[in-house]
Amino acid sequence: MHEEKKEKSIHETVSKEKNLFKKPWLHSLFSFVVIFGLLGLFLFWQVEKNSVFIENSNLEAPIINLAPSAPGVLNALYVKEGDVVTPNSPIALVGSETISAKDGGVISYAPEVLGSYFSPGQTVVSIVNVTEMKVVGQLEETKGLKNIVAGQRATFSVDAFPGKTYEGIVDEVSPVSDDTGVLFDISDQRPIEKFDVKVRFNVSDYPELKSGMSAKITVYTNK
């Protein structure tokens, strides 16, 4: 008797499940899931098709080296490493010459003591011009370089801030290769050159970014 009740319960459960799958709303829901899934895959494919990924990238800012035009002794230093200076700020006094910063930035090098002798052209203080910072990526010529031109939208991520995406614009594609990045195609030993792709962005929007940080770039080619 107990076995008959158990078997009857199983049959009733199976019957309910079959009836559930026959409901129209469930079919509709399943269809929507499939359609939206396929649409998502198609959009992802379109983005991947119309983009170029550059993994080997870094944030780079120009370094300005300040030096005297005449020989002299360092008599005064108005900054220290890490200071932020504005354009035309006085930086140091060498002999009777006041050395000023034409562009603003962050002091990356400054001597710790006074009294040193400096020759004309010898660096006294170095400044990182953060306002001109860019993301620079090295891309092999066979990895979509031909599709990248100045003005295209780009995004980039920085290893120091995982999960965050930054916006930029392709500023320049180097007209000459980076000779230090020459690779070889094993099939015929032909050299594969690497070229610099530079992306500019609004530095003031992202104050957390610093020159030298590792990054990854995605360029949207729209082709």
In tens, the pLDDT along 86-114 reads 999 999 999 999 999 998 899 999 998 99
What is residue 223's DSSP assignment?
-
Q: What is the pLDDT of residue 30?
A: 52
Average pLDDT over residues 124-129: 96
The answer on pLDDT for 17 being more than 70 is no
Q: Which two tokens stand for residue 153?
A: 């939208």
Cβ distance 120 to 95 under 8 Å?
no
Q: What is the pLDDT of residue 169?
A: 97
Tell me how far apart the alpha carbons of residues 178 and 176 are, in angstroms, rounded to a whole number.
7
Q: What is the pLDDT of residue 47?
A: 43
* DSSP per residue, 159-172: TTSTT--EEEEEEE
For residue 75, how far is the Cα from the chain centroid?
41
Average pLDDT, the chain: 83
Please give the model's pTM, rounded to 2 decimal places.
0.68
Q: What is the pLDDT of residue 222?
A: 79
- Dihedral sign computed on CA atoms, order 123, 124, 128, 129: negative
Cα–Cα nearest to 151, from 98, 198, 88, 90: 198
Q: Highest mean pLDDT range out of 122-126, 139-143, 181-185?
A: 122-126
Residues in Cβ contact with 165 at an 8 Å cutoff, skipping those fewer than 6 apart:
155, 156, 157
User: Between 177 and 121, whose confidence is greater?
Assistant: 121
Q: What is the pLDDT of residue 200?
A: 97
Pick the CATH number of 63-130 from 3.90.950.10, 3.40.50.2300, 3.40.80.10, 2.40.50.100: 2.40.50.100
- The 10s digit of each residue's pLDDT in 161-219 is 999 999 999 999 999 887 655 555 555 566 788 999 999 999 999 999 999 999 999 99
Buried b (16+ CB within 10 A) or exposed e, 70-109: eebebeebbbeeeeebeeebebbbbeeeebebebbbbbbe
Determine how many CB atoms are found less than 10 A away from the CB of residue 210. 15
The answer on pLDDT for 136 being more than 70 is yes
* Fold adopted by 51-61+132-220: Elongation Factor Tu (Ef-tu); domain 3 (2.40.30)
Q: Which ranges constitute the DSSP H helices of the chain? A: 2-21, 24-49
Cα angle, residue 165 at apex, residues 162 and 169 outer, rounded to 5°: 140
Q: What is the pLDDT of residue 205?
A: 95
From residue 133, give the alpha-carbon distance in Å to each of 79, 150, 168, 178. 22, 17, 12, 20
- The 10s digit of each residue's pLDDT in 39-87 is 444 343 344 468 999 999 999 999 999 999 999 999 999 999 999 999 9
Exposed (0-12), middle (13-18) or buried (19+): which is 198, by Cβ within 10 Å?
A: buried
Q: What is the pLDDT of residue 166?
A: 98
Backbone Cα Rg of the chain: 30
The answer on pLDDT for 34 being more than 60 is no
